Structure 1
Amino acid sequence: MHYLYRIISSLIILFLIVSCTKCTTDHPEPNIVEPEETNQTDMLELIYKIADEKNMRVISDLNMNGGDLYQKYDPEYVVEQHKIFIQRYYKRYGNHKSFWGWYLNNELNPLKSDEETISPFWRRVWKAAVQECKRVAPNSTVTISPFFLLDENGYRGFEYLQPIEYEKWWAQTLKETGINILMLQDSGAEHLGFFTLEDRRPFFQALKNACDQSGSKLWINVESGEVAAKDWEEAINMERTDTQKWVYTQTEWLSQKLALAAEYGEHIINWGYYPYMFSGPSVGPYPSDNTPIATREASYASYKAYYEQQLVMPKPAQGPVPIMRGTLWWLPAEVSGLSIQEFENSIRFQIEKQAEIGFDILWIVNAPANMQWAIDKESEK
């Protein structure tokens, strides 16, 4: 998600690196304790291990990400790189029972249904990726999480497309590629807090129609982070001056979005838990920003109360319970300043806090860089 990467790339996490000066004598002076070695293990291996223990499922992204691959590479190259990565990744982590799915981390500006140049590129590379994922892991699931544009007046310079265009393009794309699950971002590309439920509904219906026609499943990616703008004028001014204020989507409003999502999707996934509502300190293997800890933890507690309330309510006659099942978790490739035990404790803490609010899916992004880091470290030994 480009907006997530913009947030992450603008943030700097400072870690305290402790150094030790040894004494010149043969024996250390009394009361001087050597610090633990600052290190980390294979983060992905640890996540899969903990997910195994907790009966959770893991979805991880592929190596060729971004919506601009079409401008950079020919399809043959992308297909080959996908195949190499999928084989290496499955060989390394595919033995885990929590190994469940793959994520095509490509976000495109919406394409018209009669577009004839870019569309074949994406359908070809996605189809090849799906085929390779299914070849190495026949029971695995391939997902994608696109957005729609709600800027009907073209304030941001992009062409607005009617919902029927999304339905036609995605119905054909899903049918040709075999993608199993489309996880639709619920707040459009703009992620603005003033969008209404009725603004969203036509696009939800269009993508549901596309999934029904192609045999794919529709999940809704309900976002718990948004730009706090009261209208388009304020939103555009914020964007032009780079003063967007990103905040937690208040639980009362979030609950309404979840109810709408449950009308259309088979499951509900999330973006926004990181960085706006997670518990614990900011230092660790997850995206963080300048949101105060107290604010994040209050948001977490508010959603947890909602979640627990949903558990005791009668189950809906149709559709899922309107709760989030997992969140996008962007992992840095390296975390400095933590001992091995501190590192594992941090990962365990985060997974346990997710499990406490009903998350049983770990949706991991930046997996390729993490795998490569682990391989490089092993080769140094």
Structure 2
Amino acid sequence: MLDALPGPGGGVVRFSRSELRLLVAANGAVFWGWDGAAPLPSYALAGQGPEPDPRAVLEPDKDGGWRVVAERVTVTVSRHGAVEVCTPGGVPLRRDLPPRWWEPVGGGTARWMQRSRVTADARFFGLGARASGPRLRDGAYRLWNTDPGRPFGPGDDPLYLTMPVQLVVADAGTHLVFHDNSWDGTVVLREGEEGAGSGHDRPGASELRMDGGPLRCWVIVGTPARVLHTWASLTGAAALPPAWALGHQHARWGFGSEQEVRRIVAGYHERGLPLDAVHLDIDHLDAHRVFTVDQERFPKLPVLAEELRRDGIRLVSIVDPGVRAAPGDAVYDSGTTQDAFVRDASGDVVRGVVWPGETVFPDFTHARVRAWWGGLYRERLAQGFSG
């Protein structure tokens, strides 16, 4: 460690070959980023992100390190670059060892690795949708959204939705860690083990390897409820759903016709089971193309939707943002006119293969593309869908 430059809510700690930016936000969340990584720009944060906490001050700590003491958390930085997160009472919850970077042999973007230690009784949750269930057992979890294209079960990984967010629960407190990075990566977790009276606990461990992108993260400490509330204030709360969306729902692939939908709904009624919504998957679309309807199997979809609504049941549609790359397709032609699709570093439109065949993908990082895509939902509403 060379020196530190205090600033609003924290400051910058400089080492011989790198630097660490540390910030405590007014909502209690803690940010740190290595080698120039800052909170912004970010697609994850709500608005411009939280303001710094003016009460949080970067100050010298013992053994040549620095620390920030805030209302809900204390963060210390050792002279070697380890970052430790503690409760307001000083109980350690997490310790991040100094990160490591390396250049691929064939050249390209620098990759990095972050090793962390948590308390022996800590248990891991999160990382998006995992076939293993909400509690994450020992193993490796990839951060790369993937459609398995087949039935899946426990142990299959990754799946459709992955998130670089861990919720770590321990007796001393709960903390959430969000690495704000969209690159491909892998998290390897190992639960700790308490010493059963011997006093020799084995801490839990988390190792994150990323193929590139900024090394930056947010950490939130508190009770589970407070942690999740702060997380919502950081990234934006979910939209308030209608009351029926909190009810009983039937969702699966395989509704081959309007008659099949009616048969399933009748089965609920015959058995006295509650039902508030029925979801239609891609099999109701014309050749799996988004914002279309197979007129042979669903010739009177608005009539079906109205029948269900009279029984208090809403019809919900899948919306798959893989647009068939075929001139003449209405969504493709409209998106091409709007220059709405994802492009690679060379400026070429990115193409992939999904259910409709060769596809392109809307670039939702642009507000104008989000507005264009949102306007396409008029077709779904006209078909009688409620969601």
When the two structures are superposed, what TM-score results if normalisation uses the length of structure 2?
Answer: 0.28
> Higher relative contact order at CA 8 Å, sep ≥6: structure 1 or structure 2?
1
Which structure carries more helix by proportion? 1
Give the structure with higher Rg (CA).
2
When the two structures are superposed, what TM-score results if normalisation uses the length of structure 1?
Answer: 0.28
Which structure carries more strand by proportion? 2
